[in-house]
Amino acid sequence: MLLGRVAGTVVASRKEPLMEGWKLLLVRQIDTDNRDVGGYVVAVDAVGAGVGEVVLFATGSSARQTEVTRDRPCDAVIMAIVDTWEVGGREMYRK
């Protein structure tokens, strides 16, 4: 999994029927210092995340192992909202 910050939303009305009901969020990847690292992914929201929140997201087939994404064409899912992380005993982020 990777850390990311929800940057925005994506809307698509003409789509694969199995995508119905998904909330699609733009997630920017961040590093362990809480800085943007350049990449992004469009992920399905499985936990009710909002713009600006720091989240944990999974990619690949593992992204299909949540209730909202199982057996659907999803390769990225937001699976948790991050409370805090620390590196070497030092807190780097707190919600």
Q: Is 12 in the site for a copy of itself (CB under 8 A)?
A: yes
8 Å CB contact between 24 and 10: yes
d(CA 51, CA 73): 23
Burial class (CB in 10 A: 0-12, 13-18, 19+), 28: middle
Q: Is 36 in the site for a copy of itself (CB under 8 A)?
A: no
Least gap, CB of 21 to a copy of itself (angstroms): 13
The residues that touch a copy of itself, with contacts defined as CB under 8 A, are 1-3, 7-19, 24, 26, 28, 31-32, 40-43, 46-48, 51, 56, 58-67, 71-77, 79-89, 92
